[in-house]
A and B are shown apart, each in its own frame.
Chain A
Amino acid sequence: MISEQAKQRMRDLASRYPVARSAVMPALYIAQQEEGYLTQEGLQAVAEAIGLTVNDVESVATFYTMYYQQPQGKKQIKVCNSISCYLRGCDRLVEHLEERLGIKPGETTPDGNYTLRTVECLASCGTAPVLQVNDEFVENVTPEMLDALLDEWDRELKASSVGVQFVAPDEAEASTRNR
């Protein structure tokens, strides 16, 4: 469901830019935030707010890798595998994650908790190897760190699935950032 509030934000964006069409990318982010990925309803809402056809909006959405066409795991792990991270052993991290999560890059665990991805250079080569979890950086990663993080996320996800807030989302984000 795309909320009325989200639709209003999209319309506000359309009037913020010199040309309404320029708001299509930020509006797609809003739609994605609402539902976790881009649904037909999300594309429709963007199209209506901006005054484009759904096909037109979809053609933009499918060009960019950060707009998702499928549901994503609650924790999206993106491991950089470009040259600087490669030189610093990122392949070991990917192998480690594959083993521990039992999935290949591009896949989501059956419980919907984790999506694993290998991505292009994340502009953090000085602290390679790096990964992002839900858009927040984790730098200078070692396999041991990965284990500790995964344990923490497992606990967090388990707690939230039984309705108990284990860590406030903001705190969880901050602890990831400061690591």
Chain B
Amino acid sequence: MPELIVTKDIDALGLDTLEGYRQHGGYEALEKALREYQPDELVELVKKSGLRGRGGAGFPTGLKWSFLAKNEKTRYLCCNCDESEPGTFKDRMLMEKNPHQLVEGVILTSYACRVSVAFIYVRGELAHAARQVQRAIEEAYAAGYIGKNILGSGFDLDVIMHRGAGAYICGEESALMESLEGRRGYPRLKPPFPAAIGLYGGPTVINNCETLFTIPAIVRNGADWYASFGTEKSKGTRVFCLSGHVKRPGNYELPLGTPLRTLIYDEQYGGGILGDKQIKAIIPGGSSTPMLGPDKLDTPLDFEAIAAAGSMLGSGGVVVISEDTCIVDAVLRMSDFYRDESCGKCTPCREGTFWMTEILHRLEHGEGREKDIDLLLDICDNISGKSFCPLGDAATSPVASSIKLFREEYEYHVREKRCMVERETTHKVPLHAGEV
């Protein structure tokens, strides 16, 4: 088992309390940072570690911090815990089981970036996670880790947990800020980027939950230690969320660069495919990333290799689809999601996601026309790069990639008016590994 960084001790009893977290070295990184580091030195440390954002885009974290506008305005931190990308379930686990590590990461990041008010934006549906984070914040206030003059350092910080209320779009950083400001979660035009003009008009740093979760470990053990994991350009480990037709779905922390095959087939991780079926497709980074065929099983899970294979590492949500799945029906399900979650602000995304879903629906139900397949690709082309925010681009990923890989199956639907895979078979997929 490789060394764990983010999920270390995650199942330890009482880890979710201040006392339990302290017993596992909790808040030592904060004490060390306030004693030994100037804020700018912390930024350099994180730059040197090679840590890249775990939310989806993979932008270098330290570099992001260094972009904050240097002016007199109040600076803010938003920690993005609005985990909603289909196939992703790591942040929920991290918040529920070890909320103090998130809080420590938030405090360290705030210190490094000279932030005075930090927000932890927790997805509305994750009520238990929100309670855990709220309690951790209160305990940290009481222990003097948050508040005025933290541990006698002169550093002041306020931390507020804010619950979302059911809107995928609020995971997009500018929509998240709108939501935090008490508005409908519509994305903002960029530039200006949040680092220049963000929350309440102040310079704002926005990082994903897992990203900030990693910071205490880097401060405690050093940049070189962290950079010794992973590949040359994709440093460290990642929590991969494995779901779909595998025998052992779950969260597995692995060094970046681990082959997809290891995650899916190794007995310690996925343990292979339910019913020992063949893989039809793999979604490597949440439903917004293009699907890959089984020929890509030996691709290392790092930003560069997955990009070279034609997809994106995204949020780390690896969804495995077996041979018994109708790809048109599966894509319809994903398209439904984007139609429902499109905020409606821009035309290409609002109309495009609606029409893609309509067309996929008629294809799946035997009413497809021959030109529908190219029509879908044409709609993808009219959304991609032309929508206001990345949600539109994301919506095209499953559609375009599945047509590229499985055009024959789409054509079969048009020609034969039914699925190539018997729907009955799909339903017979065992629910749990125990049924295999």
A residues sitting closer than 8 Å to B (CB atoms) are 16-19, 21-26, 28-29, 50, 59-60, 63-67, 78, 81-84, 86-89, 91-92, 119-129, 132, 135-137, 140, 142, 177
Contact = CB atoms under 8 A, between A and B. Distances in A.
9 contacts: A65-B165, A82-B334, A87-B325, A87-B429, A120-B84, A121-B86, A123-B89, A125-B86, A126-B250
A138 to B, nearest CB: 12
B340 A124 contact: no
A89 B427 contact: yes
A25 B182 contact: yes
Given A26-B162, A64-B165, A125 B333 contact: no
Q: Nearest 9 pairs between A and B by C-beta?
A: A65-B166, A64-B165, A125-B243, A21-B182, A66-B166, A24-B182, A63-B184, A121-B86, A84-B243
A91 B160 CA distance: 38
A114 to B, nearest CB: 19
Interface in B135-174: 160, 162-168
B88 interface: yes
B70 interface: no
From A67, A121, A129, name the one whose CB has the most chain B CB atoms within 10 angstroms: A121
Nearest to B341: A120
B190 interface: no
Contacts of B333: 81-83, 86
Given A65-B166, A86-B333, A128-B249, A123 B92 contact: yes
Given A126-B243, A132-B125, A89 B180 contact: no
B184 to A, nearest CB: 4
Contact of B86 (A28, A60, A120, A136): A120
B125 A125 contact: no
A22 B181 contact: yes
Q: Which one of B89, B128, B287 has the highest number of Cβ atoms from chain A below 10 Å of its Cβ?
A: B89
B330 to A, nearest CB: 7
Contact of A126 (B245, B249, B325, B340): B249
A87 B117 contact: no
Interface residues of B, number: 58
Given A26-B162, A64-B164, A89-B429, A19 B181 contact: yes
Given A19-B181, A19-B200, A82-B337, A136 B127 contact: yes
Given A83-B287, A89-B427, A18 B200 contact: yes
Contacts of A22: 162, 180-182
A82 B287 contact: yes
A81 B166 CA distance: 15
A18 B332 CA distance: 43
Nearest to B321: A87
Contacts of B126: 123
Given A83-B319, A84-B86, A125-B317, 12 more contacts: A19-B182, A21-B182, A59-B184, A60-B182, A66-B124, A82-B334, A83-B330, A84-B87, A87-B429, A88-B429, A120-B86, A136-B127
A26 B343 CA distance: 21
Interface of B: 74, 83-89, 91-92, 117, 123-128, 160, 162-168, 179-185, 200, 241-245, 249-251, 283, 287, 317, 319, 321, 325, 330, 333-334, 337, 340-341, 343, 427, 429, 431-432
A142 B333 CA distance: 20
Contacts of A129: 431
Nearest to B333: A86
Contacts of B165: 25, 28-29, 64-67
Contacts of B123: 123
Contact of A128 (B92, B243, B317): B243
A142 B435 CA distance: 12
Contacts of A28: 165
B322 to A, nearest CB: 8
B125 A66 contact: yes
B167 A63 contact: yes
Contacts of A59: 184
A21 B185 CA distance: 14
Nearest to A134: B127
A83 B182 contact: no
Given A60-B184, A83-B319, A136-B127, A124 B92 contact: yes
B330 A87 contact: yes
B163 A29 contact: yes
Contacts of B340: 120
Given A64-B167, A87-B325, A125 B89 contact: yes
Contacts of A83: 86-87, 244, 283, 287, 319, 330, 333-334, 337
Contact of A88 (B163, B179, B341, B431): B431
A123 B251 contact: no
B249 A127 contact: yes
A2 B386 CA distance: 45
A126 B270 CA distance: 11
A69 B183 CA distance: 18
Contacts of B243: 84, 87, 125-126, 128
Contact of A125 (B127, B319, B330, B343): B319
A176 to B, nearest CB: 11
B266 to A, nearest CB: 16
Contact of A25 (B87, B162, B317): B162
Nearest to B124: A66
